[in-house]
């Protein structure tokens, strides 16, 4: 159900087999552990907790959440003894948007029936917070773009970065900002990393990091170009319809096959952010935007 990988001594990552290859992590100290993000389904988060508390036999004392989206943040409820850490906006948005969103999910599904939103107890703004676990320093800092509240966690001694959704196989900016995403990717490329544990998808190894950040920056520049071209037309959506994920340099099989769908949303969101209106189509089909609610956030 979840894949577990040992990234460095006492540093683990977990990846969901069920939902959009979403990831989480853990750093294990001699007396207690830190969890970084929770997974989309309660049973997956419970599997992480059991591994740490039953197999490794240490309690989870802190849970750091990278951002407020459900697939990363809703599982804090399963660590009642832990202190939750996140960005101040993450706390605000979990309360403002997460609580009603959970209520509506409960109406459709039994999966979240026992769950409550537990927002961060300790919040950071745009500064940095360092947490010492055993002999390791974990530095937590803002890394926006996917969302304004995204934070990353760097395990300094191991040069392992848990990036949250600032790093994904396909950059996803629908709830964020493309300029922030560009700055964050450039920042990541300069950190001298051994590994990046992306918010979704596989671990990026040291030798792949340069190419990876370059590819993601190239994708962002391609979609910006496409949106500008569309912006000069009467029916911009007709142009955007023809801009496939492959034509922007990315494969459609990424993120469990969701790449094309996420790409379409990126184009529409970027157009809307740049021009202040949704792109119009000559087909004038009112149902056009009613796509299915499959949201890897
Ligand atoms: Zn997200």
Q: How many CB atoms lie within 10 A of CB 162?
A: 29
- Provide mean pLDDT across the span 186-192: 98
CA of 112 to the centre of ligand 1 (A): 19
Please tell me the distance between residue 200's alpha carbon and the centre of ligand 1 in angstroms. Answer: 9
8 A C-beta contact, residue 138 and residue 130: yes
Q: What is the pLDDT of residue 158?
A: 98
- Over residues 40-86, the pLDDT tens digits come to 999 999 999 999 999 999 999 999 999 999 999 999 999 999 999 99
CA of 137 to the centre of ligand 1 (A): 25
Strands of the 204-205 sheet, one edge to the other: 128-133, 136-142, 151-155, 160-162, 195-197, 204-205
Residue pair 34/133 in contact by the 8 Å Cβ criterion: yes
Q: What is the pLDDT of residues 107-166, one digit of tens each?
A: 888 899 889 999 999 999 988 999 999 999 999 999 999 999 999 999 999 999 999 999
Q: What is the pTM of this model?
A: 0.93
Q: How far is the CA of 219 from the centre of ligand 1 (A)?
A: 18
Rounded to the nearest whole angstrom, what is the distance from the C-alpha of residue 148 to the centroid of ligand 1?
A: 10
Centre of ligand 1 from the C-alpha of residue 297, in Å: 3
Rg (CA), the chain: 19
Give the distance (Å) from ligand 1 centre to CA of residue 209. Answer: 21
Residue partners of 79: CB distance under 8 A and separation at least 6: 35, 49, 60, 63
CB 184 within 8 A of CB 142: no
Residues facing residue 154 across a β-bridge: 139, 161
Cα(89) to ligand 1 centroid in Å equals 14
Q: Could you tell me the distance, in angstroms and rounded to a whole number, from the CA of residue 30 to the centre of ligand 1?
A: 31
Q: What is the pLDDT of residue 131?
A: 98
Q: Tell me the CA–centroid distance for residue 161 and ligand 1, in Å.
A: 16
User: What would the pLDDT profile of 117-129 be if each residue is shown by its tens digit?
Assistant: 999 999 999 889 9
């Amino acid at each position: 159900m979840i894949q577990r990988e040992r990234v460095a001594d006492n540093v683990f990552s977990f990846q969901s087999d069920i939902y959009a290859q979403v990831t989480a992590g853990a750093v294990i100290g001699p007396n207690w552990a830190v969890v970084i993000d929770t997974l989309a389904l309660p049973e997956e988060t419970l599997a992480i907790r059991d591994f740490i508390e039953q197999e490794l036999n240490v309690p989870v004392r802190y849970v750091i959440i990278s951002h407020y989206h459900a697939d990363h943040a809703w599982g804090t409820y399963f660590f009642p003894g832990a202190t939750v850490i996140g960005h101040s906006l993450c706390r605000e948005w979990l309360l403002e948007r997460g609580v009603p969103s959970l209520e509506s999910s409960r109406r459709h599904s039994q999966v979240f029936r026992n769950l409550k939103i537990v927002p961060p107890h300790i919040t950071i703004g745009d500064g940095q917070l360092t947490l010492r676990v055993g002999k390791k320093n974990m530095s937590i800092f803002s890394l926006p773009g996917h969302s304004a509240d995204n934070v990353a966690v760097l395990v300094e001694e191991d040069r392992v970065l848990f990036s949250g959704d600032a790093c994904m196989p396909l950059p996803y900016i629908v709830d964020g900002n493309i300029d922030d995403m560009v700055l964050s990717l450039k920042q990541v490329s300069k950190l001298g990393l051994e590994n990046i544990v992306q918010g979704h998808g596989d671990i990026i190894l040291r030798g792949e990091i340069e190419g990876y950040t370059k590819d993601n920056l190239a994708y962002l520049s391609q979609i910006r170009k496409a949106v500008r071209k569309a912006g000069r037309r009467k029916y911009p959506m007709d142009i955007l319809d023809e801009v496939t994920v492959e034509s922007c340099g990315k494969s459609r099989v990424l993120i469990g096959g969701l790449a094309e769908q996420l790409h379409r949303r990126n184009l529409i969101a970027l157009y809307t952010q740049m021009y202040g209106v949704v792109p119009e189509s000559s087909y004038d089909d009112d149902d056009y935007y009613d796509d299915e609610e499959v949201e890897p956030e």
